[in-house]
Amino acid sequence: MCCRRNKIYTVFPSTTATALTTLMTATKPEEHKILGYTTYVDKVGVINALKYTMPETSEVDLLKKL
């Protein structure tokens, strides 16, 4: 029986939004700039990084604007 153990690392900050964005984009937080649950983007203002929506709306097409 063979077992393989590898170390696993997380990102900082280790929030869900930051970690999932890192996994989906294969980039570090300092590259993708998602450092928490909400992020300010010049084009659209504050967005919710988990839903990619603005807090005051449930518009799902926000990624198209970015």
CA angle 7-9-13, nearest 5°? 165
At 11 the pLDDT is: 83
Whole-number Cα distances in Å, 3 to 9, 28, 32: 19, 29, 34
39 pairs with which residues across the strands?
47
Q: What residue segments make up the domains of the chain, in order of their start?
A: 16-65
Res. 3: pLDDT tops 60: yes
pLDDT digits (tens, 9 = 90+) for 10-43: 787 778 888 888 888 889 888 988 888 877 778 7
